[in-house]
Structure 1
Amino acid sequence: MMGGTAALLAAGPALAALPPGSFEDVRKHGARGDGKAIDSPAINRAIDAASKRGGGTVLVPPGRYLCFSIRLRDDIELMLSAGAVIVAADPDAHGANYDPPENYLEEQFQDFGITHVRNSLISGDGVRNASITGPGMLHGLGLDREGPGDRWHARAGWQSAAALGVSPRELALRDAKEQAQVGRANKTIGLMNCRNVRLTGFTILQAGHFGIIAHGCTNLQIEGVVIDTDRDGIDIDACRDVRVVNCMVNAPKDDAIVLKSSYALGRAVPCQDIIVQGCRTSGFLMGSLLDGTYRPSDYPAPDKLGPLGRIKLGTESNGGFRNIRISDCVCTHTRGILMGVVDGGTLENVSVSGIVMRRPVNHPLFVHHGARMRAPKGTPLGRIRGVRFDDVLVTGADKRFPCGVEGVADGPVEDVSFTGIEVVAEGGGTAADAAREPEYRRETSLEVSYLGALPAYGFYARHARRLRLDDCSFRTDTPDARPAIALRNVDGAIVDGIASPSPRDRTVDARASKDVTIGSLVTTETKGTSAA
């Protein structure tokens, strides 16, 4: 086992150029890296020592480091050498010694896991100019996947802390489920109100509830990180100026990359100026990304449709979303890209382009407005406007689930365009499918599986304004009795340059809609090129 200067040189050329005294080796502070001793106190001592000098690099040499909570500080780089693995200790085997969760909110509008960050393997609270760099690994072996839910005011019997005359902390201590969480952790990296943080090059395996979750952070860069887990991969919540670039996230049992604007900061804060680029997401069995076997996951999900692993915006939407770009991503055996608002807030100026999607579990591309309103009482209905999808290729699509837009009657989705979209689906839809009127739900979460099989094989929209479909191809492997496009309660639409197997007079069904302009329609062969 290497240590000292030899380990530094092995870690890479960037460290070799550092001046003397600008780094701390965790082994010199007592870390053993034998997979048996608890090494988090030593790693925290190394971080504190570097911090007292004004910052520097904390080196984790090769070894297996069993840890409870590690706390980032300002101006600290935590470098995980090749062969270095930080393992989350199991509270049941080693004692419940993780930092306790902050109890400053009632969790009315988001669940316990989203609200807190200190109960993480690595946490940063108000940290500036910090980084975690690779090429080592974080293994969330002892992290919890579950936890207490929310205390939403719409639940029967709910009473606020103020009404009970107690603080949020006192209210939490009355909850046996929350008491059981003290000393445990449920996320690998948790960041709150941080600025100028860089996460790059390392791997996360079995990440707990969240691999990386960030609330209220600005100038955050996540690059070249590989996550293979069975809950959420990367959650960006109420943040600004964030880049998620060239990451690989396998998350069969939850979302791979998800943007949120929850109430975890105690106020509504938008999630804005975000780039997700060059990423790959998948829903294979956990661990099979890292070992290269890509084994299918048999996880059915609550709606019995199969694995998740998607890119998503809007599970919580209190603060809204603006200026979001998702581009050049590959999505394999996952749910499609889903976005919307359900708790108020405005989603606007969102662009999705250059996507390759293979065997999506449900709708490849979908925009959804709902009125769950898990938000402060009196919050107005949200709004969705200015969403653009360009240059998307989908193969192996399920016949039940075309791309689509679903608004609510008093909050239609506005100004959404689909350009250069090519979808190859199974086909086989029946006349009964074509006649279906999907269930309408105003008060609903973001998921749209309740709609069931839709009355179109290419695209479906309901309660939308100023919709545009240009230069799109919707093909099927077998004949399908449904139209390529079905519009319901759409006010203003332009449909042009559509290629599909349907005859021209059955390509677009625009019942109960108005101001629909239909341009060029091309009839193609039924046989597609759906991926196996």
Structure 2
Amino acid sequence: MKYLLLSISFLICHSANIDANIYNVKEYGAKANGQTIDSQAINKTIEEAARNGGGTVYFPAGKYACYSIRLQSHITLYLEAGAEIIAAFPAEREGYDDAEPNEYNQFQDFGHSHWKNSLIWGIGLEDITVCGPGLIDGEGLTREESRLPGVGNKGISLKLCKNVTLKDFSMLRCGHFALLATGVDNLTIQNLKVDTNRDGFDIDCCRNVRISDCSVNSPWDDAIVLKSSYALGFFRDTEGVTIANCYVSGFDRGTMLSGTYERNEPQAPDHGYVTGRIKLGTESSGGFKNIAITNCVFERCRGLALETVDGGHLEDVVVSNITMRDITNSPIFLRLGARMRSPQGTPIGTMKRILISNVNVFNADSRYACIVSGLPDACIEDVTFSNIHIYFEGGYTEEDGKCAPPEQADVYPEPWMFGTIPASGFYVRHARNITFDNVNFHFASPDGRPLYVTDDAEINKK
């Protein structure tokens, strides 16, 4: 009867059936007492399932203190209600798997260049599922110095895998990345609740990705971010991605999962206000193609950011049905730049064919307005904004409208790179065929700057 009930639960997870092999980690030595390190027993369970052709590795309720858990192909990890995989703090002579060498790590941050120094990791695998109503708690991943041997800095890390499903569990304080997926094909992320201290989902050089019905709170970094780094040693686009029915926010760490939604921590580590947004970039050696973002809510965070600054081509992006509240910088930020963290000789990228429609923004910071900014020899092209209402704080003067933002071609892209923006609505520079159709602005306090300011730009207003 026990295994019949378990099998019914696994059916709900869409990852197993009644005939599936079920491997209970407690039967392989896991103690689940929150003190004993259980990762050795869990890895033994995974190895046994893999030897038998795959199956479901089952975590009953309990607290599993762990170092690195090594996934294998054709394996499902099922976390029962009350099951918690807890990242342990490294001890003097043991800890997480060491970061593997990567000769291309100069082209992206340390965390993007390595995968094994994680709580749960897999490389070159297929047919993997992590699911169930349990919790992954990255308590031991919060140390600042993540480069030391034995220290982990990611919750789940996947490289060059295919056919991956992550569904129904929660994640808490999971280091620099709750999820790093690099070069993953056919990735489904559904109904996750993530409340973390740095990035939520980093989707890097991936194809055919479905992210839906997720809530991601990440006050110190981006919530859902698509990237296309050079970490694999070759250019690879992130393409064929949908992000739908998601909630992103920048409330105090841990307070989304607790349901208290606290607002006592205004700063992120980059000294800007809280982050928590949906973004394309910053790592952008490869490109972004065929991306759809729809039916999403932003709250107490930065706005939507589309960035390509390392040579990638950002093309064919549709954003629709977005509502934002309490936005701490530009509600809409499009940047084509030339930071060029890519192999020498890589040309500047492109940004074109973008539709952004049906957007409502309430209580946005007015200093940076909305920004569309390319480069003198690399214009953003073919962008349409339609059916948009933005409620700004206002409060700037006619004198502020005389500002001349610097180019900042090679600077890390954030709206503050330009200082106070001379427009109260949209600042458009080095851009062609930019259309505004039924775009409306409202101000809580008067703003003396013009609504639109253009520089080397062709715009159409309807």
Q: Does the TM-score normalized on the shorter chain lie above 0.5?
A: yes
* Pair 1:9–1:62, CA change in 2 (3 A): farther
Correspondence for 1:493 = 459
Query: Structure 1 residue 468 and structure 2 residue 435: aligned?
Result: yes
- RMSD (Å) for aligned C-alpha atoms: 1.9
Contact map agreement 2:11 2:17 (CA 8 A) in 1 = no
Contact map agreement 2:142 2:173 (CA 8 A) in 1 = no
Correspondence for 1:170 = none
Cα deviations by residue, 1:160-215 (Å, 9 ceiling, x for unpaired): xxxxxxxxxxxxxxxxxx4xx22221000000000000000000001011000100
Correspondence for 1:434 = 401
Indicate the larger mover: 97-106 or 134-143: 97-106
Name the count of aligned residue pairs: 461
Correspondence for 1:513 = none
Distance 1:207 1:109 in 2: 24
Deviation, 1:96, is 3.3
> Partner of 1:28: helix, strand, or coil?
helix
* Pair 1:299–1:427, CA change in 2 (3 A): closer
* Structure with more strand by fraction: 2
Give the AA of the match of 1:286.
Answer: R
TM-score under structure 2 normalisation? 0.96
Distance 1:43 1:94 in 2: 21
* Pair 1:331–1:129, CA change in 2 (3 A): same
Distance 1:37 1:11 in 2: 27
Distance 1:6 1:66 in 2: 28
Find 1:324's aligned residue among 264, 274, 291: 291
Correspondence for 2:421 = 454
Correspondence for 2:364 = 397
Find 1:350's aligned residue among 303, 312, 317: 317
Correspondence for 1:97 = 95
Find 1:117's aligned residue among 106, 110, 115: 115
TM-score under structure 1 normalisation? 0.84
Instruction: Name which one, 1 or 2, has greater alpha-carbon Rg.
Output: 1
* Pair 1:9–1:191, CA change in 2 (3 A): closer
Deviation, 1:17, is 8.5
Query: Structure 1 residue 241 and structure 2 residue 205: aligned?
Result: no
> Partner of 1:273: helix, strand, or coil?
strand
Q: Which blocks of at least 5 consecutive residues in structure 2 are unaligned?
A: none
Distance 2:434 2:205 in 1: 28
Distance 2:16 2:66 in 1: 29
> Partner of 1:328: helix, strand, or coil?
strand
Distance 2:10 2:269 in 1: 45
* Pair 1:212–1:302, CA change in 2 (3 A): closer
Cα deviations by residue, 1:330-380 (Å, 9 ceiling, x for unpaired): 000000011121111111001111110001000001100111111111111
* Pair 1:14–1:294, CA change in 2 (3 A): closer
Correspondence for 2:79 = 80
Distance 1:22 1:275 in 2: 33
Q: Superposed, which structure 2 residues align to 1:29-68 within 5 Å?
A: 29-68=28-67
Q: Which blocks of at least 5 consecutive residues in structure 1 are unaligned?
A: 149-177, 497-532
Deviation, 1:297, is 4.3
Distance 1:303 1:451 in 2: 16
Q: Superposed, which structure 2 residues align to 1:109-508 within 5 Å?
A: 109-144=107-142, 146-147=144-145, 178=147, 181-301=148-268, 304-490=271-457, 492-496=458-462
Contact map agreement 1:4 1:25 (CA 8 A) in 2 = no
Distance 1:7 1:182 in 2: 42
Distance 1:487 1:95 in 2: 60
Distance 1:145 1:387 in 2: 39
